Amino acid sequence: MSCLPQSGGCERRLLEPLVDYINTQESVDYQYKACLDQEPSDKGQSKKKQPECLYVAGDGRQLVVERKTILWPENYARDHRNDHKLADIIWMNLQDVVFPDRYVLSMPSLSKMQKDEIDAIGRSVADAIRQNYSQITLTHQLAIRCGEHDFQLELRPDEGDDDPARRRGLGVEWTDTWTAEPESFSNFVNKKLDEIYESCVEKFQDYSEARRILALNPHGELFHFTARKWAEILALHQPPSQIDEVWITSHLGWDCGEDHWEIERVFGGIVALPPLPTITIESVVVSD
């Protein structure tokens, strides 16, 4: 997944998967027209705030999209960059190691570490992996203690992948769990949504005849929320009338050169969520 937010400049490339999905699902033909928020203002006049992109269908119908990142915890992006720095240092110090199978390193978050501390920990962990990875089996993992931080390296064969090259190497995952009081989390989400709604109202004011979409890009713990959960949140904290629809657009990553996205409409239009699983309870009579 793209676990760090992407933004800046024309965001057409981040909206194309959404518009392509809408075109396919609804048999429409919205085509890119302009990156509205990148167009220069008239000379001598202050620039009006605009949505990200404008799309126009063959019959003249307009679609405008505003893309907003929403993340929790609030400092997630800043902190998680340090986690990626640590992973990069470990990989860099193991470039010459040819792993014969697929290994996964479970790492804690080092969000509050300084650069020199991250460098030192990364080198130490890489040295421990280099010296001991050959001893790891399916039933024997490598535990690495570095200061107050615990790492674990284990063997995770992926026989389902047809490409032998992707069945070897070192991957990483983060083990920290997230906890928050329900009330404080609810207050944060409602406050953040209000800020996003206010921005959209301002940007959509000249496009009352267009289809106006808010594309939410969740990160951190919010990345793991289901479409159903988002639909429940927005049902309780509904967008203003200037926003016709809200879609969740989550980038899942790349595979074989292809971009993979999870795209779901969670408010407005026809929200088609998968049914909840049915649980069948069987009665068992036990006789003496």
Is the pTM value of this prediction over 0.85?
Answer: no
The CA-atom distances, in angstroms, between 225 and each of 6, 81, 233 are 19, 22, 10
Query: Can you give the pLDDT at residue 73?
Result: 67
Greater model confidence, 198 or 279: 198
In this structure, the chain runs to a length of: 288
Greater model confidence, 44 or 215: 215
Spans of all domains in the chain: 12-73+188-256, 77-174
Helix, strand, coil in percent for the chain, rounding step 5: 35, 25, 40
Average pLDDT estimate for 92-117 = 86
Average pLDDT estimate for 157-177 = 70
Using pLDDT thresholds of 50, 70 and 90, give the confidence band for residue 117.
Answer: confident
**What tokens appear for 162 in the block?**
């047809």
Residue 288, H or E segment = none
Q: Is the pLDDT of residue 163 over 90?
A: no
Fold of 12-73+188-256: Trna Endonuclease; Chain: A, domain 1 (3.40.1350)
Digit-coded pLDDT (tens) for 9-37: 678 989 999 999 999 999 999 999 999 97
Please provide the DSSP assignment of 172-214 as one string: EEE-------HHHHHHHHHHHHHHHHHHHHHHTTT-TTSEEEE
Residue 272 — φ and ψ, nearest 5°? -105, 95
| DSSP-derived 3-state class of residue 121 | helix
Continuous H helices in 136-284:
182-203, 227-236
Q: Within 10 A of 108 (CB to CB), how many other CB atoms are there?
A: 17
Digit-coded pLDDT (tens) for 118-152: 899 999 999 999 999 999 988 899 999 988 889 99
How far apart CA 172 and CA 164 sit, in angstroms, is 19
Digit-coded pLDDT (tens) for 2-16: 444 455 567 898 999
**What tokens appear for 187 in the block?**
């207050």
Closest CA to 1 of 235, 242, 221: 221
